[in-house]
Amino acid sequence: MAYSREIFEEVQNKLYKKRMSAFEELKFKKEVFYRRFPRAKEIEKELSSTAVKASKAVLSGGSAMDEIKKLKEKNKVLNDELCEILKEAGLPKDHLEIKYSCGECSDEGFIDGRMCSCMKDMLKKESYNRLNKMSPLELSSFDNFSLNYYLKTPSEDKHSPYKRMSLIYNFCRKYASGFKKTSPNLLFTGRTGLGKTHLSLAIAREVIDKGFAVIYGSSQSMISKMERERFQNYSENGESEKHFINCDLLIIDDLGTEFMSPFSVAAIYNIINSRIMMNKATIISTNLTMRELEKNYTERLVSRMIGNNIRLEFLGEDIRQKKLKELINK
């Protein structure tokens, strides 16, 4: 998965801390145990010395096999004695062995060059947590999206908001459940407060759970981050733009709310166009009409979005206002 370098390094750091914690825990257990049973410490030293002797015997040649056989027999006697001490203390045989949180990769993250499932889960969780910090992801899911706030009476285009939003809801749910890196691009349009952000985040939540790399952000936050990296000489110059272009799913929320400048227009065009060229899935939501988008950006950019995105036009009245009234009237 195309997780960002920041997420990858954070997970590696957490795995390192887990390994160090396992070492420290074993060290503490041994100190406590050896104070109570000094003989156990002597046995550990003897076992270490036999390992060194075995290595020397292999290198020396000659009667190495006989020497190794004797050392194995001695090791067995020592291990049996140690097991008896542990039994006397009422402790399991593996009490003095290191306990990693993942027994498959020993908290290294990889097994024979392949990423361990524990690291995959940690990457997914870290991605989820970071997205959750920037958005109400924990509150946004398909299960808590209510269609009851949409009127069932037909509007000007002969579709009731309820019927239109039912179709959009089912489409988004199907899109998320069958998501793949080459899934089509989506363009959510409509007035503010109609559920565009909620459904975007519901898709993000489900796609992250599938193990894909998702980046969510408002156009304003994305542009601000790229501007800081470009004009304040950050050590990771241009790193964010690379992540926006290369992630499995990019969700640009509230397109058109950012401060308009030659830099922002060029940056937005580059990200959207690059992802189209690379056949990568992008979801864009905006409160602006197509005419307003053309005024803010360029006809070329809007043409690219219309030609390469499935447009879903949200209908209805501001849900947030309705929810606020419900709270006031309680």
pLDDT at 55: 62
Q: Which backbone phi and psi does 287 adopt, to 5 degrees?
A: -90, -5
The residues that bridge with 197 in the sheet, in sequence order, are none
Give the rounded distance of the alpha carbon of 102 from its chain centre.
Answer: 19
Fold of 135-329: Rossmann fold (3.40.50)
Token code pair at residue 68: 């190794």
Q: What percent of the chain has pLDDT over 90?
A: 35
The stretch 13-29 carries a mean pLDDT of: 93
- 114: pLDDT strictly greater than 80: yes
Closest C-alpha to 164, from 316, 276, 294: 316
Positive/negative CA dihedral, 181, 297, 189, 134:
positive
- Helix 161-177 to helix 196-209 angle, to the nearest 10 degrees? 20
The answer, as to whether pTM is greater than 0.75, is no
CA-only gyration radius of the chain, Å: 30
Does the structure show a pLDDT above 80 at 237? no
Residue 182's identity, in one-letter code, is: T
Contact 107/31 with Cβ under 8 angstroms? no
Contact in structure between 189 and 312 (CB atoms under 8 Å) = yes
Could you give the residue range(s) of every CATH 3.40.50.300 domain in the chain? 135-329
Is the model more confident about 322 or about 76?
Answer: 76
Mean of per-residue pLDDT scores for the chain: 84
pLDDT digits (tens, 9 = 90+) for 168-195: 999 999 999 999 989 999 999 999 889 9
Residue-wise pLDDT tens digits, 33-48:
999 999 988 888 887 7
Query: For 257-274, how does the pLDDT look when each residue is reduced to its tens digit (9 = 90+)?
Result: 888 888 888 999 999 999
